[in-house]
């Protein structure tokens, strides 16, 4: 019985002594987003037509200034969005 146990241990030790070859290293590409500072020019706020409208201006002048300001604001927003898109 003792010989059988010793023989069994030797057989198992022989199997454990075989080392499998390590697998070949593989190249793995990992894409990680990296933050970079945004370098765009600051968009200057325009002087809006309503801001320079004199106090006591007629209703017609106020309406013309409001219409002009609406177009100015749209153009200003387009420039702001372009600056933001440049940073993406």
Confidence band of 11 (pLDDT split at 50, 70, 90)? low
Band of the pLDDT at 8, cuts 50, 70, 90?
A: low
Do 69 and 81 touch, CB atoms closer than 8 A?
no
Residue 37: its pLDDT value, please?
83
Contact at 8 Å (CB) between 74 and 82? Answer: no
CA distances, 16 to each of 9, 20, 23, 46 (Å): 10, 10, 19, 80
- Reported as a single tens digit per residue, the pLDDT across 13-48 is 655 556 678 888 999 999 998 888 888 888 999 999
The per-residue pLDDT for 64 is: 95
């Amino acid at each position: 019985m003792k010989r059988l146990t010793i023989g069994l241990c030797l057989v198992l030790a022989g199997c454990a002594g075989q080392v499998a070859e390590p697998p070949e290293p593989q190249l793995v590409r990992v894409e990680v987003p990296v933050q970079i500072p945004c370098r765009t020019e600051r968009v200057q706020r325009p002087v809006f037509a309503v801001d320079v409208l004199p106090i006591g201006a007629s209703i017609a002048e106020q309406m013309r200034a409001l219409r002009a300001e609406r177009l100015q604001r749209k153009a200003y927003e387009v420039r702001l969005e372009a600056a933001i898109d440049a940073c993406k």
